[in-house]
């Protein structure tokens, strides 16, 4: 007989929290409560990956229809019906949220649709005034969009609001150079919006391989997106024609929509953690050890709120590892190495392992790189180019990194990640017979390095 109301109380109903709660309850036999103050499913399902990918699909149809005509189909395109899409999107998100709720209820998890904070090492307090004691607490509150404190910041929207716009703008400014900013710039451009992107850095998609991100930037500009690197916003002002953005390059331009996608911050403030003794780093992230345990032994944290690797599948694996360790008696540490990732720009960028810049710092390196026009769009008369790139340690012969830019890059990188995670060598790739005609065959047909360091 437990001395607590719950064995585990999870604060946050996103991917990591839901996975941890389900495994702890269904497979670990724990009595679990979960509190979510917004919608079940968290950022990924409600305000991020899922609705954004559906918008990516929607924005790709103009090129698909143009290609169809080039292939001989009598395809007549029309105007994009944003209200129709938004209604269908809302219905799909409702379906997914209900699926998450059903999964938790079937596992025996008690759901509290309200905000929760930590009162002490074994007590949580709900916004309703209720208090529950719990043996363990898991913080899985994710992150939140960051907008810098500039004059007129209230005139901007963040990625959270992009799926509920009453109408598509005619002119949009996207501020930021990360994957969220670049993806939305491509989405809006594909939907017929005139898009300008400001980024204060020298090149968009910082942290990704330089050659790959340069490839994406060039393609975005060729598609009509006005990418201005080395540029930031000084202030936003209301204007007769919309919103005036005064920039650091001395220009003043008017837009109908200004989207700030300048990063996300861990959503850890105001939960009572600091008073309890849980350590937050300078970025506001909860500091945890390799077991996702905080400085307070009964309190754990997973997902973006820890600011380790901010990806939904990572949060899920961290949550699962926590539940295995604490409730199933199977000590599990998630290894944050060789995690594949994808940027759903147009073209897509996908990668796993080291970038060329990272690998060069470690010692000798062979770089295999191929850029080519893919068959499907070449036939349609488009100038698209794909990039395939492998980084190889010339001593061990292991493939240290793989980077792909082009259609279906994300689908390909998932399989490449398996091989690289198993320690595949360049010769393992070379021995693999190519599937022809495909773009992916380039990964196993590059024989001579483009560069050697």
Q: What span, in angstroms and rounded, lies between the C-alpha atoms of 164 and 148? A: 22
Q: Could you tell me if residue 339 is inside a domain?
A: no
pLDDT band (50, 70, 90) for residue 2: low
Are both 179 and 275 inside the same structural domain? no
Q: What span, in angstroms and rounded, lies between the C-alpha atoms of 389 and 371? A: 9
Question: Could you report the per-residue pLDDT of 363-382, keeping only the tens digit for each?
Answer: 999 999 999 999 999 999 99
Coarse DSSP helix, strand, coil percentages of the chain, rounded to the nearest 5 percent? 35, 25, 40
Q: What is the mean pLDDT of the chain?
A: 97
Q: Could you tell me if residue 215 is inside a domain?
A: yes
Q: Is 122 a catalytic residue?
A: no
pLDDT band (50, 70, 90) for residue 326: very high
Q: Could you tell me if residue 1 is inside a domain?
A: no
Are both 118 and 72 inside the same structural domain? yes
Indicate which CATH number applies to the domain containing 281.
Answer: 3.50.50.60
Indicate which CATH number applies to the domain containing 371.
Answer: 3.30.390.30
Q: Could you tell me if residue 68 is inside a domain?
A: yes
Are both 258 and 275 inside the same structural domain? no
Closest CA to 327 of 289, 296, 276, 291: 291
Question: Could you report the per-residue pLDDT of 329-347, keeping only the tens digit for each?
Answer: 999 999 999 999 999 999 9
Residue 186 lies in domain: 153-262
Are both 319 and 357 inside the same structural domain? no
Domain end, chosen from 214, 238, 262, is at 262
Bridge partners of residue 138, in order along the sequence: 10, 300
- Whole-model pTM: value is 0.96
> Domains in the chain: how many in total?
3
Catalytic residue among 112, 215, 228, 436: 436
Are both 307 and 228 inside the same structural domain? no
pLDDT band (50, 70, 90) for residue 241: confident
Position 341 scores a pLDDT of 97
Domain end, chosen from 233, 262, 291, is at 262
From first CA to last CA, the distance across the chain in angstroms is: 64
Question: Could you report the per-residue pLDDT of 397-451, keeping only the tens digit for each?
Answer: 999 999 999 999 999 999 999 999 999 999 999 999 999 999 999 999 999 999 9
Q: Structure tokens of 143? A: 């992150």
Position 1 scores a pLDDT of 43
Half-sphere exposure of 8 (CA within 13 A, CB side): 33
Are both 162 and 256 inside the same structural domain? yes
């Amino acid at each position: 007989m437990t001395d607590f109301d719950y064995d585990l109380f999870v604060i946050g109903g996103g991917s990591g929290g839901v996975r941890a709660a389900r495994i702890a309850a269904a497979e670990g036999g724990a009595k679990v409560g979960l509190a979510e103050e917004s919608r079940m499913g968290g950022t990924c399902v409600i305000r991020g990956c899922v609705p954004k990918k559906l918008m990516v699909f929607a924005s790709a149809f103009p090129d698909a229809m143009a290609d169809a005509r080039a292939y001989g189909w009598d395809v007549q395109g029309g105007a994009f019906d944003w209200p129709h899409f938004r209604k269908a999107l809302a219905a799909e998100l409702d379906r997914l949220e209900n699926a998450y709720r059903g999964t938790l209820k079937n596992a025996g998890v008690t759901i509290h649709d309200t905000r929760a904070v930590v009162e002490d090492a074994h007590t949580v307090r709900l916004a309703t005034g209720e208090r529950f004691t719990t043996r363990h607490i898991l913080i899985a509150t994710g992150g939140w969009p960051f907008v810098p404190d500039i004059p007129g910041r209230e005139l901007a929207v963040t990625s959270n609001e992009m799926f509920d716009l009453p109408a598509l703008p005619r002119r949009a400014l996207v501020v930021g150079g990360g994957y969220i900013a670049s993806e939305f710039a491509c989405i809006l451009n594909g939907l017929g919006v005139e898009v300008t992107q400001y980024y204060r850095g020298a090149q968009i998609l910082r942290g990704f391989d330089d050659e790959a991100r340069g490839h994406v930037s060039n393609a975005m500009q060729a598609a009509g997106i006005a990418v201005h690197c080395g540029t930031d916003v000084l202030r936003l002002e209301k204007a007769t024609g919309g919103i005036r953005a005064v920039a650091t390059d001395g220009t003043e331009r008017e837009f109908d929509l200004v989207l700030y996608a300048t990063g996300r911050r861990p959503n850890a403030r105001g939960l009572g953690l600091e008073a309890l003794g849980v350590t937050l780093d300078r970025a506001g992230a909860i500091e945890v050890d390799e077991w996702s345990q905080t400085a307070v032994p009964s309190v754990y944290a997973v997902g973006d709120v820890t600011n380790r690797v901010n990806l939904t599948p990572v949060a899920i694996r961290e949550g699962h590892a926590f539940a295995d360790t604490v409730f199933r008696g199977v000590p599990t540490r998630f290894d944050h190495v060789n995690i594949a990732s994808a940027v759903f720009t147009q073209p897509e960028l996908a990668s796993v392992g080291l970038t060329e810049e990272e690998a060069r710092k470690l010692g000798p390196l062979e770089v295999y790189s191929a850029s080519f026009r893919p068959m499907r769009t070449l036939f349609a008369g488009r100038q698209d180019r794909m990039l395939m790139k492998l980084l190889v340690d010339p001593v061990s012969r292991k493939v240290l990194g793989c980077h792909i830019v082009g259609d279906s890059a994300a689908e390909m990188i998932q399989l490449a990640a398996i091989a690289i995670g198993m320690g595949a060598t360049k010769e393992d790739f070379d021995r693999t017979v190519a599937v022809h005609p495909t773009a992916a065959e380039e990964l196993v047909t590059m024989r001579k390095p483009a560069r050697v360091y």
